[in-house]
Chains A and B, each alone.
Chain A
Amino acid sequence: KQEVTQIPAALSVPEGENLVLNCSFTDSAIYNLQWFRQDPGKGLTSLLLIQSSQREQTSGRLNASLDKSSGRSTLYIAASQPGDSATYLCARRSGGGADGLTFGKGTHLIIQP
């Protein structure tokens, strides 16, 4: 059974800190991995997509890495801001075509002003 685990489940830090969110997955067969944020009552916003052939992707203050051999991905957020407060979801895709994403349960992040 494919599983995606995210640690920690919740995190509260003061503004300005750099932080790391962790994602691990069983089964090293991976097609790509995608990080999303979800604000309360809203849909999912795609943050970063890492293909299986890539090691990392960067967008602004966000950096996501992928280590297939250990079955892990991390999302690094630099200089956190209150607007970063949201639930962050990691999702892996094990195959191409119409194969969907398997999601973790998310990390609920609060950035204190």
Chain B
Amino acid sequence: DTAVSQTPKYLVTQMGNDKSIKCEQNLGHDTMYWYKQDSKKFLKIMFSYNNKELIINETVPNRFSPKSPDKAHLNLHINSLELGDSAVYFCASSQDLGLAGGGELFFGEGSRLTVL
């Protein structure tokens, strides 16, 4: 049973289109993230959600909008896709342990977006 699952795994679309990527975790974690891995394989955080509240938005264009209907799901919607949006998008989740320490992050398999 997959802990963090993303759909679709591959997405090919034209510039200007709007697309969504879905993520679900069955680990009972209260924090979920979206990361972007660019063509040089560098991973950078985009968003973080804790109990359905946006915590981090790391200078991401407002064409990207995360939506969390509940703490087990975090979807990423992208409007007016551009060539530069082509990348692999990873969803992750963790459980914050407070003073006991930081939770381990678990990643999904990634969603490869290609914009033509």
Chain A residues engaging chain B, CB cutoff 8 angstroms: 31-32, 34, 36, 42-46, 49, 51-53, 87, 89, 91, 93, 96-103, 105-106
Contact = CB atoms under 8 A, between A and B. Distances in A.
Where chain A touches its partner, the secondary structure class is strand
Contacts of B85: none
24 contacts: A31-B101, A32-B101, A34-B105, A42-B109, A43-B90, A43-B107, A43-B108, A44-B107, A45-B107, A46-B106, A46-B107, A51-B102, A52-B101, A53-B101, A89-B43, A91-B105, A96-B96, A97-B55, A98-B33, A98-B56, A98-B96, A99-B55, A99-B102, A102-B45
A52 B105 CA distance: 15
Contacts of B56: 98-100
Nearest to B54: A98
Contact of B102 (A31, A105, A106): A31
Q: How large is the interface on B (under 10, 10 to 19, 20 to 34, 35 or more residues)?
A: 20 to 34
Instruction: Give the one of A42, A44, A89, A106 with max B CB within 10 A.
Output: A44
B104 interface: yes
Contacts of A103: 42-44
A46 B31 contact: no
Given A97-B50, A105-B41, A46 B98 contact: no
B48 A98 contact: yes
Contact of B48 (A44, A52, A53, A99): A99
A62 to B, nearest CB: 15
A98 B42 CA distance: 21
Contact of B98 (A53, A87, A96, A105): A96
A73 to B, nearest CB: 15
A2 to B, nearest CB: 11
A7 B61 CA distance: 31
In order of increasing CB-CB distance, the 6 nearest A-B pairs are A98-B55, A100-B45, A98-B50, A43-B109, A44-B107, A32-B102
